[in-house]
């Protein structure tokens, strides 16, 4: 049986399936979510259903996603952990305007404003959202977050959009409690970071956790997963999510949705027990170089 909880940074216990709030924004993650009342209802339904980890970022909206979370859930339940991120900037609706900034003044401002929008004094988990910023060295960016941790604004530091080499460099500066990377049943770009997280005790939060059509062999993927889903009486996406929980004890998927029914399906995946044979069959679908 897979564990139903894991611990972030040694002190924050959360359920194995969190909620990624990015979809509760406008088209192309720009602007307000058009159905504000519906977005609030989904967030409240997630917490009512037992979700104890919500993931957001200042660039989602920008800013509107953090405000929506506060408006829906503040004052927060004692067991709710909220993670946010800083370091990306967005200059307009077009994704081409997305860039990365890493200097200390910008990251400090980003973290303080995220805390203000979320309505918290300390951010439970704050990710450097990108290792791509070139205005200052990567190590200086991590050092800024380490200082914010010492000052009490951040409880734990995480990394997103980084390489394995950057992850290792960051570990020399501050404890890294969590890392995010691309990893699912059909694509395993972040496999090296998953192994690094397992070795260090960090939590690993996979991007696109239930996507089944990213690799070149979609038919092969579905040919393996659909019969397993039929045997359990669930969807292929639920099997993909259950597989992640079986794949590693540090895995913290954060599937997002705008539907309460879909949210309930995602959370139900935590109850699915896969056989070792089925776990191995799905694991063999993609290379984990």
Would you name the residues annotated as active-site residues? 60
> How far does CA 257 lie from the centroid of its chain?
13
CB of 245 within 8 A of CB of 2? Answer: yes
CA dihedral of 24, 30, 36, 40, whole degrees rounded to 10: 30
Backbone angles phi, psi at 274, to 5 degrees: -95, 145
CA–CA gap between residue 167 and residue 176 (Å, rounded): 8
Q: How far is CA 86 from CA 60, 154, 206, 215, in A?
A: 10, 12, 18, 29
* Closest by Cα among 122, 120, 178 to 149: 122
β 88-90/81-86 pair status: unpaired
- ∠ CA(106), CA(157), CA(110), 5° rounding? 20
């Amino acid at each position: 049986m897979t564990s139903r909880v894991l611990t972030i940074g040694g002190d924050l216990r959360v359920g194995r399936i969190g909620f990624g709030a990015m979809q509760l924004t406008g088209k192309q993650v720009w602007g307000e979510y058009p159905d504000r009342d519906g977005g609030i209802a989904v967030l409240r339904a997630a917490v009512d259903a037992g979700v104890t980890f919500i993931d957001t970022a200042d660039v989602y909206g920008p800013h509107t996603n953090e405000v929506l979370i506060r408006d829906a859930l503040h004052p927060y339940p004692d067991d709710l952990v909220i993670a946010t991120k800083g370091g990306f900037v967005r200059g307009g609706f077009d994704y081409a305007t997305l860039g990365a900034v890493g200097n200390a003044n910008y990251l400090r401002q980003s973290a303080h404003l995220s805390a203000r929008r979320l309505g918290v004094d300390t951010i439970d988990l704050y990710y450097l959202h990108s290792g791509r910023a070139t205005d200052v060295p990567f190590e200086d960016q991590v050092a800024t977050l380490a200082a914010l941790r010492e000052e009490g604004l951040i409880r734990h530091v995480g990394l997103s959009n980084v390489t394995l080499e950057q992850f290792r460099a960051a570990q020399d500066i501050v404890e890294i409690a969590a890392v995010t990377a691309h990893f699912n049943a059909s694509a395993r770009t972040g496999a090296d970071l998953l192994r690094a997280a397992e070795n260090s005790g960090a939590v690993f939060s996979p991007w696109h956790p239930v996507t089944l059509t990213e690799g070149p062999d979609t038919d092969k993927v579905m040919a393996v997963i659909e019969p397993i889903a039929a045997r359990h009486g669930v969807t292929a996406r639920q099997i993909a999510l259950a597989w992640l929980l079986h794949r590693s004890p540090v895995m913290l998927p954060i599937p997002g949705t705008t539907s309460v029914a879909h949210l309930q399906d995602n959370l139900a995946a935590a109850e699915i027990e896969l056989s070792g044979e089925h776990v191995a069959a799905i694991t063999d679908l993609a290379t984990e170089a």
